[in-house]
């Protein structure tokens, strides 16, 4: 059998890694989708973006929540997928030891300083999260809560706008 190109096996390895790391997690939506659905969607959005099509950013898209939401660390990601991927993941990982408001402030403050790759992944994450709120909102979320979430996303994207030009 003909062997698969390296980039493809790197992606499939990342999918297996993420599926295992997030195996006990579900999305917050009423439909409680398996967490991997979100990661595949973020991968798909990045893959379709004109600047997303390199293996580092595609692998980072799959792994973007692994440090924030599972016990795995930067080093665990770096050991298997290298420091570039691990850094993009870390750039998009909130410090979950901070209170929610501070986390939000830190997320906004970090946006202009992120690498281009990290911002591509973050934007794809936001698109996927907004879609989830539209299609399968968490139980009990009324219109105000959804609009508040949309506004938070808008501010986050605004905070990173134009960052490429300053680099």
Of the two residues 5 and 44, which places its CB atom closer to Zn ion in the complex? 44
91 contributes a contact to Zn ion by CB under 5 A: no
Under a CB-based contact definition with an 8 Å cutoff, are residues 80 and 65 in contact? no
41 forms part of the interface with Zn ion (CB under 5 A): no
Q: Taking CB under 5 A as the rule, does residue 65 contact Zn ion?
A: yes
Residue 117 is a binding residue for Zn ion (CB under 5 A): no
Residues with catalytic roles:
68-69
25 neighbors 133 (Cβ within 8 angstroms)? no
Provide CB contacts within 8 A for 150, sequence distance 6+. 130, 133
CB of 64 within 8 A of CB of 125? yes
Q: Which stretch binds Zn ion (CB under 5 A): 15-23, 29-37, 64-72, 79-87?
A: 64-72
Q: How near is the Cβ of 38 to Zn ion at its closest, in Å?
A: 6
In angstroms, give the least distance from the CB of 142 to Zn ion: 23
Q: Which stretch binds Zn ion (CB under 5 A): 18-26, 63-71, 108-116, 134-142?
A: 63-71
- Give, as one character, the DSSP assignment of residue 5: P
- The region of 2-10, 22-30, 123-131, 147-155 touching Zn ion under the rule CB under 5 A is 123-131
**End-to-end Cα spacing for the chain:** 45
Supply the DSSP string of 59-70, one letter for each residue: HHHHHTTHHHHS
Interface residues with Zn ion (CB under 5 A) are 65, 125
């Amino acid at each position: 059998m003909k062997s698969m190109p390296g980039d493809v096996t790197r992606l499939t390895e990342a999918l297996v890694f993420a599926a295992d790391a997030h195996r006990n997690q579900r999305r917050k939506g009423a439909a409680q989708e398996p967490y991997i659905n979100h990661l595949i969607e973020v991968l798909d959005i990045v893959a379709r973006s004109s600047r997303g099509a390199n293996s580092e950013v595609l692998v980072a898209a799959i792994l973007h929540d692994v440090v924030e939401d599972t016990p795995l660390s930067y080093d665990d990601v770096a050991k298997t997928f290298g420091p570039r991927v691990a850094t993009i993941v870390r750039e998009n990982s909130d410090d979950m030891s901070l209170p929610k408001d501070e986390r939000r402030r830190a997320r906004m403050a970090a946006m202009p300083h992120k690498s281009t790759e990290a911002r591509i992944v973050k934007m794809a994450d936001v698109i996927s999260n907004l879609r989830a709120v539209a299609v399968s909102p968490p139980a009990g979320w009324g219109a105000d809560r959804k609009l508040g979430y949309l506004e938070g996303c808008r501010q986050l994207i605004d905070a990173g706008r134009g960052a490429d030009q300053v680099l």
